Every structure is written in C-alpha cells, then in structure tokens.
Amino acid sequence: MAVLVSGCGRESTNSEEDMPEDEKVELTIWQHEPTEQRVTAWNTVIEKFQEENPNITVNMEVVLWDDAQAKMLNAIQSNTMPDMNVVSDTSWSSAYLAGGIVEVDDIVEAIDDEYGFIDSTLSSYTADGHYWAVPIDSICYSLMYRPSALEAAGFTEPPKTWSELKEYAEKLTIDENGDGEIDQYGIGITCSRDALATDTFAAFMASAGTDIFNEDGTIGFDNDATVNALEFYDELYQYAPPAASGWSWGEIESNWAAKTFAMMPYHSPNLAAFFENNDLDIACAPFPTPDGAEESYKSSFNHAVTVTKGAQENGHYEACKKFIEFLEKPEISWIITVCQEPGFYIPTTEAGAELVSSDYFDEENFPIKDNFDTEKGSESRQILDNFLNVALESSKEAYALGNKYGAVNLNTAEIYNSYIISDMIQKVLLTGEDVEEAVNWATTEMNKVNDQ
C-alpha cells in the first residue's frame, strides 16, 4: 500500500529541471485491477523499473474501479492525490476539470518519437491543445464465439454483418433435447443498469458510426444511426437468455463459460480460466458491421496514466516521466498488456503492437502455466494470437464512447456514469417503449447533464 502525496490545481505547462541521478524519489501510483495476475504483472514491471532506476521507488495502490472516481475527486479536494493515477477515456476529464493533473505533452512526444502511438489511443486525452494522460493499454470490442456451436449449426465462418449476426443468433438458439426448454441461446447481451450494457451498446453505436457528441461537442445522440442500433439491439435480444436482463460482468462471463449462449459482443473473457480448464473451444472475430454501412468503426477502451499537480509540486515529475516512458518499452508493454490479462489488453504503440504480432513470447512472465503450449503455431498460441490480432487490427479504426472526434466534450464521464444509455435500453427491451421516443428521452437527459 502506498503513502499518498499531495495534489491540487491544474497546470498547462511543465518546466521542471531534470532530476539529479543520485536523488532518492518515492512515487505512488493508483491502478484499479485487483486480480492476482494483473497485480503480479504490475509488480513485475515495477520491480524491473526499480532495478534500472534504484533511486526511484514506486508504490502501487489498488483502488477498485467502482471507487476510483470518487476517491480521485476527494483526493484532489484534500490535497492527497498520488503522483500518478491510471484512468480511462471516461474518467480522466473529471480530474482535469477539478484541477488535479498536469499536461504531459513532453512524455507523449518522447514516446511517440521512439515507439509511435497508435493514433486512436491518444484522441481521448486532449484538451486545450495539450495531452493530459499517456495511454498504456487498449481494449477493443469484438465478437466472441464457440467454433463448435457455429460448426454444428452449419456455419463455416463467423458473421460479418448485422443481418448475419441476427441469422446466426436465431439458428444458434436451440432446444437440443426437445423438452421445450432452450439449451443454448444464440447471443449474450444484457440490458442491466450498469456499465456492461452501456459498453455493449456502445459497440453497436461505433459499428453504426455514431456517438454521443457531434464534432463541435454538442449532444448528437438522437440520430438515425442510434435509432437503428437500438432497434437492432432490441431484435437481437430475443435470442439472449431471459436472465440476461440482470447480468453484469461476472454473470456474463460465468454464463459464457457455462456455454449458456454461443456468441457475445465482448472485449475478451477470462482466457486464462479457459486454458486452465483445457477448454479450447473459443475464438473471436471483428465486430459485425451494419449491412451496407458507408462508415463503420470499432468500440475501444483505453487506459492511461495521469501525472498529478502534487507530483509536479513535489519535484517528482521527471521521475514519473521516467516510469511512464519505461511502461511503453515494447518488452515491458508486453507484460503490462499480454501478461496482465492474455487476449484482453493490447499495446498503445506501433512498436508494442509489432512485438505482440511477432514470434516473441515472454514465457517467464506469462501468467498461464497449465494447459498452454507456448510454442508458435500450437493450438494454444493460435487461440491467443487470434484474440490479440483481431484486437490490434480493430484498434486502428476504433474510438471510445464519447470520443469519436476526440475529447470534444468533457462531460463524457458524467453522462457515462449516469447510466442514461442503459436506462434507455431498459425502456425499450423491458417496458416496450418506442425506440425513437427512448432515444429522444436519452438525448434530453444527456443535455441536462451537459448543461449543469
């Protein structure tokens, strides 16, 4: 656990001198992934950094995502922010607006010069002509499926379009023993009042080329593309299990593992558990696109590191810079992405992506030790490479919810955390409200948040 340092206010420039090489510095970073293998990956990277930089100590504190936003804002108010904080596309702007972070243009530029950022990973973190966070990993929605289920239904490849997705979902919803009960549903999607429903619907929005905001930052949610996406989501939901209305992350993953359904729009299930259970019946494909779409994208999520005002005031900025630049070294990025959660996280730089796509494999730090053949070309590697390569390719044409045009509106976090989108989905899927009326209601609610 870490000793927290102070932080308040917002700066738009950094002018700190280089840190003397013999100066001892102790840094604190908040990250939000509590599972053992994710914490292990972070600890491994921190240990490697400290071996190269013995004068810098990095203390990691795990703050659960559910608590991260409130704790961050409270820490800004009380001048107890850590030196660095891991944020998402939808959470960093609150710290910016509250004056708790400093711009990191020099860090972004140094990493970009050496390793080349993938453009889509940077767009969420700009305001006032500056970068306010450094992306360290990305997640892209794709379509998970069980090859055996598709094969049994006569399909030789995964669906590529929305109409094919619906066709597959219908055919894959089956009563295998003829007892009148569905034994396998075609699709796993939810309408729960939480981030899972919002994130899943966001994947359909991106596929339809639409977003919350217009390019000028005004609310642009109420449009034909959003209506079409919600209509299709409603049609698709009839092939999901009835209990899916209350699913969150844990329930959808456990039902996927239990083979309750054959396909799901998702970023990646817990591949480690699949391999440990010797279950290799899993694959993914790029997210399907609307039929005849002129514009279609993928939905992404990015995590980034901010540097707090307190870190700058305490003379820790250069030490933070060293640590963040270290995170983007391709071999280190491999640990913080592939080793943190195999098939889930991908690098944010071209150099990191090239290493992941190569024959390179860090057996020492790879978390899956049982039922995984690390040799290139093995069935295990083919499954992992499938997940990684689909995500890497998708990331080139992806954007995070609210960030199609970059950070054009800094109320993304407030709109996202208000569950307006999941409430809208419930109005249609659970109470039968007209789709256009539901979209119009959501737009009105978003404007209320935006006008506060």
CATH number for position 36: 3.40.190.10
Same structural domain, 98 and 126: yes
Per-residue pLDDT of 299-320, as tens digits, reads 999 999 999 999 999 999 999 9
Of 37, 6, 44, give the one whose Cα is nearest residue 271: 37
Please state the pTM of the whole predicted model: 0.91
My answer on whether 53 and 74 are in the same domain is: yes
- Measure the N-to-C terminal CA separation of the chain; round to a whole number of Å: 37
* Range of the structural domain that residue 325 is part of: 25-140+300-393
Same domain, 313 and 256: no
Inform me whether the pLDDT recorded for 279 exceeds 90: no
Domain annotation covers residue 242: yes
Chain-centre distance for alpha carbon 81: 24
Task: Count CA within 13 A, CB hemisphere, residue 61.
Answer: 19
Is 280 within the bounds of a domain? no
Residues 109 and 183 in one domain: no
Residues 174 and 258 in one domain: yes
Q: pLDDT tens digit string along 146-174?
A: 999 999 999 999 999 999 999 999 999 99
Distance CA 57, CA 22 (A): 13
Establish if 52 belongs to a structural domain: yes
What is the structure's pLDDT at 433? 97
The mean pLDDT value of the chain amounts to 92
Q: Check whether residue 90 and residue 183 sit in a common domain.
A: no
Same domain, 148 and 186: yes
Is 282 within the bounds of a domain?
no
Residues 404-448: pLDDT tens digits?
999 999 999 899 999 999 999 999 999 999 999 999 999 999 999
Question: 407 lies in a domain?
Answer: no
Query: What residue type is assigned to position 270 of the chain?
Result: N
- What's the rounded mean pLDDT across residues 250-278? 89
Burial grade of 85 (CB within 10 A; 0-12, 13-18, 19 or more): buried
152 and 257 co-located in one domain: yes
203 and 184 in a single domain? The answer is yes
Q: pLDDT, tens digit, for every residue of 38-87? A: 999 999 999 999 999 999 999 999 999 889 889 999 999 999 999 999 99
Which residue is listed with tokens 């593309």? 225
Q: Is 59 a domain residue?
A: yes
Calculate what percentage of the chain has a pLDDT beyond 90.
84
DSSP secondary structure string for all residues of 11-54: BS---PPPPPTT--EEEEEEE---SHHHHHHHHHHHHHHHHH-T
Same domain, 133 and 148: no
240 shares its domain with 193: yes
C-beta of residue 189 within 8 angstroms of C-beta of residue 237: yes
Judge whether 195 lies within some domain: yes
∠223-226-228 over CA atoms, to 5°?
105
Averaged over 184-191, what is the pLDDT?
97
151 shares its domain with 131 = no
pLDDT tens-digit profile of 88-104?
A: 998 899 899 999 999 99
